Amino acid sequence: MDNELVAFILGQTFGVLALICTVVSMQLKKKRPLMILQTASEAFIVAQYLTKNAFTGALMASVSFVRDYIFTRFGKKRAPFWVLILIYIAMTICTIVSWSGPLSILPYAGSLIFAFSLWYGKVKWIRLGNAVGNSPYLVYTFATGNYALFIMTFLEVAAATIGFINIDIIGKKKKTWQKKVL
């Protein structure tokens, strides 16, 4: 087997593992298990980007891995605002260092949006931030040939949207309706 084929298979395997972690995480109601699965997903995403030599994505995913780990450590409390600022600075530096053209803006913008929703800390906003923040990654993953990651990102956006609708919109309306009836 040649090295390119091994890298391709390995990269797609990492993408599938990230997909499983991410889709399951977006259906959870509690922050801690959601964040643990998101952290694992980011580790697999870093590995996949590295197999494709997509360094901006790999650097951003590395910062996201650290970000998720830090935000998981704070549990139910919100991390101090300066932590978010440091994460933004790290993302900016990674984007500048790994700049490979205008396409590099996509993971940067998506990471900023999702980082804010994670910092804010409400599971409802994490799901919404995931759907909005991962949308630019759809273009980036496709353009860099990370097809399993493209599918994962598409399913992640779909899962986050479905979770937001079912849990945060319909679920709240159901609870309100049940309170009125009872």
Evaluate whether 133 touches 117 at the Cβ level (below 8 Å). yes
pLDDT at 180: 59
pLDDT averaged per 10 residues, the chain (length 182): 85 87 86 91 90 79 90 86 95 88 90 92 88 90 81 86 87 62 54
Distance set, CA 127 to CA 17, 96, 114, 160, 166 (Å)? 19, 28, 9, 5, 11
Residues of the domain holding 99: 3-181
pLDDT at 177: 54
Rounded distance between C-alpha atoms, residue 167 and residue 124, angstroms: 8
Rounded distance between C-alpha atoms, residue 166 and residue 174, angstroms: 10
Tell me if the pTM is above 0.75.
yes
Rounded distance between C-alpha atoms, residue 134 and residue 132, angstroms: 6
Which helix (H) or strand (E) segment is 175 a member of? helix 171-181
Number of domains observed in the structure of the chain: 1
Write out 103-147 in H/E/C secondary structure. Answer: HHHHHHHHHHHHHHHHHHCCHHHHHHHHHHHCHHHHHHHHHCCCH
Using CB atoms within 10 A of its CB, is residue 30 exposed (0-12), middle (13-18) or buried (19+)? exposed
pLDDT at 182: 55
pLDDT at 104: 87
First to last CA, the chain: 66
Using CB atoms within 10 A of its CB, is residue 176 exposed (0-12), middle (13-18) or buried (19+)? exposed
Closest CA to 75 of 124, 25, 32: 32
